[in-house]
Amino acid sequence: MTSDAGTWVVAALMVVAALVIGLFWITWFRRDHDEAWLPEGYETHEAPFVWTDVPLAVLLVAAAVLLVLEEPLGERLALVAAGALAFLGVLDTAYFARTGMFRRERDGLANLGVVSGVLLLSAILLVRYL
């Protein structure tokens, strides 16, 4: 098991991200999306991303555990997760920008926080393990 504090911090960030992803989808599917300001087709657009985000959450946890155990596969999985995070972060950024979802009255700060966090974790993983 690693004694490197940086590895523990990165692993913790990965596990927290996985938990946030899970909580997001649990709450997303349990509420109505009837706000007048939501873009047309919002639910149809968003719902399929559960199929990318859940495997990503599992990947983040697996990579975190392997990193802490100092298994070489952990770094490779962390880079795969970084790529997935970057893709999803850029995709969400483009969608939010195109549909006005960064405006304050449309939960813009929360949406900005989501994409910023996703892209930041991607960058941390890329810088640390490339």
Averaged pLDDT for residues 16-42: 95
What pLDDT is attached to residue 76?
98
What pLDDT is attached to residue 25?
97
Count: domains in the chain? 1
Q: How confident is the model at residue 12 (pLDDT cuts 50, 70, 90)?
A: very high
> What separation in angstroms does the CA of 8 have from each of 15, 34, 46, 65, 112?
10, 41, 32, 10, 26
What pLDDT is attached to residue 27?
96
The whole domain housing 27 covers 5-129
**Cα(111)–Cα(7) distance, rounded to whole angstroms?**
28
What pLDDT is attached to residue 53?
97
